[in-house]
């Protein structure tokens, strides 16, 4: 994913220019998101293959390292390049929407720590690290989900007729928090703490889902009226899958967590999760076909690599986790096959995005001074 300032084709430049951290905008966290969801998908995939969990552990470690490195880079950016950071947030709406990426990266890496990192660093440290990342990521997600729309209403010069799928990024973050939080419920003291966590995650689910339902018609209006302003923004069509797949994942995680905590509500929650999940995953697969077709067309038209290619990863990963949850709850083999197929698509997308990013950094085509 990328800002409009970053979507220009990667032109040939002089060899090995120095990196310019003033250009390190929050869209770079999409790389952490895409890496973390590749690991998390391996952990929940209903198909058990030799070496899959070990692969997931290695990718989780990579995502954690990337989060730490990028976090250090962003801290330097915010302290050394305050004018650029202020401009990105207050005066560049195309960049500001990507402030939804940092909390989602924190949440995804935190969940991977609990699912996979516990085998590496131990259960206690994994729970502690996930608790910290979930808490910080959730507070950040709420700030972004409220703050970016506020800026769009009061300061940013935007029009619904030019809306594009990146507008969804700030409001999807609470959905990610609602899907990741239930994994911590069994590690909390029984009674009020577990209930508070569960009800809180349901509230986050409502915030993210209702905000998405409000924004989706605006996004489609912009796409139909103005199309996409640049060819390399075509991958952002995949972002529509994010709230769809993440909401399916969230309702199943919430239903699982409710069984020991709210046993009187658990059967209804599970029924809701299955019915909602089947309906929404069907919509997601239809949109996946649309997004794939549009991107194949754009590629034939000469779409070059840009950071927007990371939009291929996390949204597809949410569909992997959603389909995996449906397979687990329904026992239907079709959802198992769907989850496996989507994971192969996710792995391919990650290789393309990661390879392009590594090459761009090595050749000085990204973050060049």
**For residue 365, what pLDDT band results from cuts at 50, 70 and 90?**
confident
Summarize the confidence of residues 166-193 as an average pLDDT.
96
pTM over 0.85, yes/no: yes
**For residue 2, what pLDDT band results from cuts at 50, 70 and 90?**
very low
Summarize the confidence of residues 275-281 as an average pLDDT.
97
Summarize the confidence of residues 173-195 as an average pLDDT.
96
State the pLDDT at residue 4.
45
Bridge partners (DSSP) listed for residue 19:
368
H runs (alpha helix) in 81-122: 82-90, 93-96, 101-112, 118-121
- Evaluate if residue 10 carries a pLDDT over 60: no
The span from the CA of 316 to the CA of 345, in Å, is: 8
Nearest to 336 by CA among 349, 326, 346: 326
State the pLDDT at residue 16.
53
Boundaries of every domain in the chain: 24-360
What length is written for the chain? Answer: 369
Structure-model confidence comparison of residues 143 and 17, the more confident one: 143
The span from the CA of 191 to the CA of 309, in Å, is: 44
- Taking the alpha carbons of 295, 299, 300, 303 in that order, is the dihedral positive or negative? positive
178 with 254: CB under 8 angstroms? Answer: yes
Computed over every residue of the chain, the mean pLDDT equals: 92
* Type and span of the H or E element at 59: helix 52-80
Structure-model confidence comparison of residues 229 and 283, the more confident one: 283
**With pLDDT > 90 as the criterion, what percentage of the chain qualifies?**
83
Summarize the confidence of residues 152-181 as an average pLDDT.
95
Q: Give the tens place of pLDDT for each residue, 86-125.
A: 888 988 999 999 999 999 999 999 999 999 999 899 999 9
The span from the CA of 137 to the CA of 169, in Å, is: 14
Q: Give the tens place of pLDDT for each residue, 300-329.
A: 999 999 999 999 999 999 999 999 999 999
Summarize the confidence of residues 145-152 as an average pLDDT.
96
- Evaluate if residue 23 carries a pLDDT over 80: no
State the pLDDT at residue 5.
44
364 with 9: CB under 8 angstroms? Answer: no
- Evaluate if residue 37 carries a pLDDT over 80: yes
Contacts of 343 (CB under 8 A, 6+ apart): 41, 42, 45, 320
**At the fourth CATH level, which superfamily is domain 24-360?**
Voltage-dependent anion channel (1.50.10.150)
- Evaluate if residue 21 carries a pLDDT over 80: no
Summarize the confidence of residues 148-177 as an average pLDDT.
95
């Amino acid at each position: 994913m990328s800002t409009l300032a970053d979507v220009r084709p990667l032109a040939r430049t002089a060899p090995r220019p120095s990196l310019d951290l003033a250009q390190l905008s929050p869209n770079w966290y999409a790389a952490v998101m895409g890496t973390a969801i590749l690991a998390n998908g391996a952990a929940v995939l209903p198909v058990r293959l030799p070496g899959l969990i070990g692969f997931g552990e290695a990718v989780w470690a990579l995502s954690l390292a990337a989060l730490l490195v990028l976090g250090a880079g962003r801290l330097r950016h915010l302290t050394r390049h305050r004018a650029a950071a202020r401009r990105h947030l207050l005066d560049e709406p195309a960049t500001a929407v990507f402030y939804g990426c940092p909390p989602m990266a924190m949440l995804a890496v935190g969940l991977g720590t609990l699912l996979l990192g516990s085998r590496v660093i131990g259960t206690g440290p994994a729970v502690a690290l996930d608790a910290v990342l979930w808490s910080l990521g959730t507070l950040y997600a709420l700030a972004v989900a409220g703050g970016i729309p506020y800026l769009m209403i009061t300061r940013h010069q935007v029009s619904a007729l030019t809306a594009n799928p990146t507008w969804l990024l700030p409001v999807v973050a609470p959905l990610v928090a609602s899907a990741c939080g239930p994994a911590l419920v069994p590690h909390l003291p029984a009674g009020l703490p577990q209930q508070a966590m569960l009800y809180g995650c349901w509230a986050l689910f409502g915030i993210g889902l209702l905000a998405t339902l409000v924004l989706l018609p605006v996004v489609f209006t912009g796409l139909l009226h103005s199309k996409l302003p640049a060819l390399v923004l075509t991958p952002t069509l995949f972002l529509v899958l994010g709230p769809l797949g993440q909401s399916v994942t969230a309702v199943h995680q919430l239903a699982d967590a409710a069984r020991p905590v709210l046993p009187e509500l658990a059967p209804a929650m599970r029924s809701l999760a299955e019915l909602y999940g089947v309906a929404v995953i069907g919509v997601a697969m239809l949109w996946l076909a649309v997004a794939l077709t549009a991107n194949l067309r754009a590629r034939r038209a000469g779409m070059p690599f840009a950071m927007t290619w990371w939009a291929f990863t996390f949204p597809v990963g949410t569909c992997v986790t959603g389909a995996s949850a449906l397979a687990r709850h329904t026992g239907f083999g079709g959802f198992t096959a769907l989850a496996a197929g989507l994971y192969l698509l996710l792995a391919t997308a990650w290789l393309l995005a990661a390879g392009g990013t590594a090459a761009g950094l090595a050749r000085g085509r990204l973050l060049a001074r």
